[in-house]
Amino acid sequence: MANILVVDDELGIRDLLSEILNDEGHTVELAENAAQARAARQRMRPDLVLLDIWMPDTDGVTLLKEWSTTGLLNMPVVMMSGHATIETAVEATKIGAQSFLEKPITMQKLLKAVETGLARISGSASSPVPMRKPGMAGVVPMQPIELTVEAAMTGGQTIPAVVEMGPQARQVFELDKPLRDARDEFEKCYFEYHLAREGGSMTRVAEKTGLERTHLYRKLKQLGVDLSRGKRSAASSTS
């Protein structure tokens, strides 16, 4: 797993991205402006940075240029914005950004961008590449891109195969009880089953059950589902 720095002036965005990435096993550091990002960059030496463009003190593109010109752009940077133009996306990619995420950010696109960035780190370990210099593109040579805000996005990553584990797919329920109690009992078993199947990954359970991640969290809390149960099951099955 990786150390990831999330830089965004919106508390809601920071909390959401932190929640998703922590659930995937990453260590997450948060910064709400460029000053905090600089300090975090020196302190934790992140494996990857998620960097918002529009911030109150110094915008993300300016910070990206600063890291590039001072030789500190030695980690993948994924830019984020809800109001960026095509020109901004292309400029950031030319400076050295790995990719560009347009807000609102979906879980699928976020995880693909993170996986791609971390995969490039692994690849560069065996095949060293020159350090970025001002005015150069990123570590990976730029390819012809379609003129969209998400032009720098790369994908195609596949989710690991599901391992069968945990509760059985078929359950027996006691129906001689109030509807609300019977429904809660069924839903609890349903979500515990999928948590066990997906190794405790809330991201994949949300995709499997068709629920938004935040709604899924609230539902599981309401039902009293043990969120660590699936992860413990996955760990025991691999030991």
21 in Cβ contact with 63 (< 8 Å): no
Tell me which residue has tokens 């935040």.
Answer: 214
Closest C-alpha to 114, from 51, 168, 165, 33: 51
pLDDT reported for residue 202? 80
**Which segments of the chain have a pLDDT < 50?**
125-166, 234
pLDDT reported for residue 102? 87
pTM above 0.85, yes or no: no
3-state secondary structure the chain: CCEEEEECCCHHHHHHHHHHHHHCCCEEEEECCHHHHHHHHHHHCCCEEEEECCCCCCCHHHHHHHHHHCCCCCCCEEEEECCCCHHHHHHHHHHCCCEEEECCCCHHHHHHHHHHHHHHHHHHHHCCCCCCCCCCCCCCCCCCCCCCCCCCCCCCCCCCCCCCCCCCCCCCCCCCCCHHHHHHHHHHHHHHHHHHHCCCCHHHHHHHHCCCHHHHHHHHHHHCCCCCHHHHHHHHHHC
